[in-house]
Homo-oligomer: A and B are copies of this chain.
Amino acid sequence: MEAEKNISEKKIQELYDKLKKDAELAGYYLNPTVDFTKQLVRSLIINQMRYGYQACPCRLASGKKEDDLDIICPCDYRDADILDYGACYCGLYVSEKILKGEIQLQSIPERRPPEEQRKKAKTTTQKISEPLPYPVWRCKVCGYLCARESPPEICPICKAKKERFERFI
């Protein structure tokens, strides 16, 4: 526990910067209240030390990684919570509207299902209705998929050129 007290500001700043950069490249935002956000980042570092993975700072981790995969940050519930409430359960990730102060952060109910339900497979009813409106292309280098009339000039993921794409569907 001693080590947990001695987490340096530098280490927190490094993880903060990394999370911020990754978030913004993918269209997410960190909570703009930097002090609050750094507290959460600090908790992520502590969880990394305790459990060996960055369990959600606002939930009780079991300590068994395979049971906690869904709450490793960013958790499986982040996007649905940002959609419905403008922020993830912790308030670490927020929507553009929260970022700009257009809507206010509120308390967010726990979306994670109880343990028993988590173990059941999700069953839904998405049917594939043929024909599809566009062909699907696959990058042979990295597996990226997109649906367009023809492949992109360059793979947005691995930067391979158009000639490396193949028809997938």
**Residues of A near any B CB (own CB < 8 A):** 22, 25-28, 69-70, 72, 74-76, 78-80, 82-83, 95-96, 122-138, 140-150, 152-161, 163-164, 168-169
Contact = CB atoms under 8 A, between A and B. Distances in A.
A133 B168 contact: yes
Given A127-B130, A131-B127, A152 B25 contact: no
A11 to B, nearest CB: 17
A120 to B, nearest CB: 12
Given A26-B158, A141-B79, A126 B122 contact: no
Contact of A142 (B72, B141, B146, B158): B146
A164 B70 CA distance: 8
A147 B145 contact: yes
Among A28, A70, A157, which residue has the most Cβ atoms of chain B within 10 A? A157
B143 A144 contact: no
Among A82, A123, A128, which residue has the most Cβ atoms of chain B within 10 A? A128
Contacts of A146: 142-145
Given A74-B160, A155-B27, A132 B140 contact: no
A24 to B, nearest CB: 10
Given A146-B144, A147-B168, A159 B27 contact: yes
A28 B70 CA distance: 24
Contact of A128 (B70, B95, B153, B169): B169
B144 A134 contact: no
